[in-house]
Amino acid sequence: MKFVLLGFVVLSFFLQIKAQGFVDDKVTSAANIKVTVSNLGLIGNGFNGKFDLEGQPSCEFPVGSGIEHIFQGGLWLGCELGGATVAVSTGAADDSRGYATGSANFEYTAEVGSVLVERSSLFDSPLFRDNAISHQDLVSDFTDKYKIAPGTQTTIQSHDNPLHADIHFEAYNWNYSFANFFVILNYTIVNTGTEDWVNFSPGYWFDGVVRNINITPPGGSSFFNKGGNGYLDSLFAAYEFDATGDPGFTDSYVSLKFLGADYKGQFCHPSVDTLWKIKYNTWQFKSPDPTYYYPQDDQAKYGKLLAGLNDNPCWESTVAPCQSTSIRQTIHQPNNRSSLLSLTKFPRVVPGDTLQISFALVCAKKNGTGPASDDSDIQKSLLIKNLTWAQTTYNGEDVNFNGVLDSNEDRDGNGKITRFVLPSPPDVPKVKIVPEPGEINLYWAENSERSIDPISKLEDFEGYRIYKTSVGFDVVGIQNISDSLKLIAQYDKVNSLGYNTGLSSIRLAEPIYFSGDATPYYYHFVMEGVQDGWQHGVAVTSFDTGDPVNNLESLESAKLVSLKRVFAGMKSNPGFTNGDPFVYPNPYYARAAWEGASVLEEDRRLMFANLPPNAEVKIYTAAGDLVDQFTHHADSYSGNDIRWFKTYGNPEQQVFSGGEHGWDLLSADMQLIARGLYVFNVRDLDSGKDFRGKFIIIK
């Protein structure tokens, strides 16, 4: 494996993390949106830290696309402490560096050794817990009470008046195709101080930036000042889109939506009680503009929490004294802005009181083919649909959204509203992939057929769907594998629903077992005519009958959960009994179509094929000088030793045929190799036999 480690940078970073002692983060992994979430209730990583060192996304959607959506975001809490002193605690705010312990605006901390706990509601997950809400919960506790960061001597700048708020934080995400585009942020806030919080207002600030980092790497003002902003009044959602940055490569929205709050059994939402208001603000980075100013102190921040631009007389108006362009129209134009949503206001939160508030981070593709700078109703249609699903998830048993548990809504019988409940498709089928030359064999278990829907309480399995990508989906344009997976076959029960194909044509007479795997596989489907060496995305899903009684359409398990990136090709060749090893393409031409558009020399790929299951491969110049070598083990090979499979694939999802191994055409010391004739030697590590062959590089 060839990597260059910048030792000093890596060491410095991890020493910094160790010194902080209370900061931990993880990435959401169930949904089609990868968001960095920290144990301080923050989202995004500011494009630094693990983003630089490990390629950890800040907020990538769709997964694998390179399209980022968030710089950073955090919780804001503001009040008049004891009815006198204005105090605001912020998790994050305008800062080009992102989170830094002790810096102004980053005022939340946790106890030394605190971590972000992960749990899952999926029964087959090693992280399964009975109390899990979603397919991946991220859970932590943090506080604003410390003026000096725990475990350090670092004073938190300008954090003079803590509210003494203890916050329990939970982030939820699901893999369902109808819910894999949002992450819910749920905060339970306790007044642990000695003073009342008068006119208390909680909010959430986020700095959206929708750019494709494969096209434009992060950095500089020109990276951040291309965003258009907006606010959907009826959905209580702030949003941002890329207006002029990477048009054609970033056609998506990011949005923050207020879902609801609860205080002492009272449901707090403007749709239920107009006494509650959502305030929307957006401002330009470090701007002194009187309308779009950056709030620098507690008094200014509190003012933003209590009064929104959506209250401003010029929000919609262009009549004097307003400008010729309304505020709503102005913020659609590109600039470097961040946004704040806040709920006003709780008259008095006394010591010991608890309240809960929830937001959703939602992404969506732009609909239609309009210009990137536009923001039409058609373009927002998918965003609105996704926002609605986020709200439906929050509502849970509160189907009519009145904040009251009506007689027909208590599905779990616990006597209170259970939120964060989604209808559930059948379980994802357990799939085994076996690639061979020119074909891909799919085997799957019957576990989906025993699934029970949490709403109807019925076994409502109906059938299976099989998906495959077209050749070159991964190297042409921007990769969106969810959309690239196309339905190629469907099998369903013989009844009054679906196509009534039956399942018998794909069901094996007896289940098949694989070495080291106790799962019985009952179904088999063959994809024929598959091009060897190319990446093929494949997935098997299950779907249910739907539930007319509860007005639910048929639901399907997530394609991305069963997704495998498969490379058909030669099987393992023990002792060279199935012919000689070979190289393809031979001759090799630089910038071949299957390599993609990357201009990086590290993203080259040549395949060695018909290898023994355990082999040592050495590459030499025609003069006999060793260029490079690698060891091949069929049982463990995932492609992670060359960059191509990371740029265009995902080593955790890749499946190879056993007898093939990729090489990046770089020497052992990461130097480019010249064109010409090369010799390779393959040694079967089990039999000791050797084979020598040749290939040609043409550039």
Tens-digit pLDDT profile for residues 89-128:
999 999 888 888 899 999 999 999 999 999 999 877 899 9
Say if pTM beats, i.e. exceeds, 0.85: no
Rounded-to-integer distance, Cα 204 and Cα 43, Å: 11
Helix (H) or strand (E) holding 10: helix 7-20
Judge residue 356's burial from the number of C-beta atoms within 10 Å of its C-beta, 0-12 exposed, 13-18 middle, 19 or more buried: middle
Question: What is the per-residue pLDDT for 397?
Answer: 87
Question: What is the per-residue pLDDT for 478?
Answer: 62
- SS3 state of residue 234: helix
The mean pLDDT value for 234-249 works out to 93
The mean pLDDT value for 155-175 works out to 96
Q: In the block, which residue shows the tokens 């955790």?
A: 652
Res 284 pLDDT > 90: yes
Average pLDDT, the chain: 91
Question: What is the per-residue pLDDT for 455?
Answer: 67
Pairing assessment for the beta strands 354-365 and 252-263 based on DSSP bridges:
antiparallel
Question: What is the per-residue pLDDT for 11?
Answer: 38
Rounded-to-integer distance, Cα 135 and Cα 314, Å: 44
Position 16 confidence tier, pLDDT thresholds 50, 70, 90: very low
Ranking 98-102, 167-171, 421-425 by mean pLDDT, the lowest is 421-425
Question: What is the per-residue pLDDT for 209?
Answer: 96
Ranking 144-158, 190-204, 412-426 by mean pLDDT, the lowest is 412-426
The mean pLDDT value for 14-19 works out to 41
Rounded-to-integer distance, Cα 648 and Cα 644, Å: 6
Nearest Cα residue to 364 out of 348, 345, 383: 383
Question: What is the per-residue pLDDT for 549?
Answer: 64
Cβ contact 306:201 at 8 Å:
yes
Question: What is the per-residue pLDDT for 3?
Answer: 36
Res 580 pLDDT > 80: yes
The mean pLDDT value for 21-41 works out to 94
Q: What are phi and psi of 327, to 5 degrees?
A: -60, -45
End-to-end CA distance of the chain: 24
Sign of the alpha-carbon dihedral angle for 391, 395, 396, 397: negative
Neighbours of 14 (CB within 10 A): 11
Ranking 164-168, 509-513, 556-560, 654-658 by mean pLDDT, the lowest is 556-560
Inter-CA distances, 665 with 606, 616, 672, Å: 7, 17, 7
Q: What distance separates the 2 farthest-apart alpha carbons in the chain?
A: 88
Reading the block at residue 346, the tokens are 């709780």
Cβ neighbors of 205 (< 8 A, separation 6 or more) are 73, 74, 76, 90, 91, 92, 93, 338, 339, 340
Res 509 pLDDT > 80: yes
Q: Which pLDDT tens digit goes with each residue over 55-67?
A: 899 999 999 899 9
Nearest Cα residue to 361 out of 672, 10, 603, 37: 37
Q: What is the DSSP string of 467-503?
A: EEPPTTTTTSSS--HHHH-EEEEEEE-SSSSS----S
The mean pLDDT value for 605-630 works out to 97
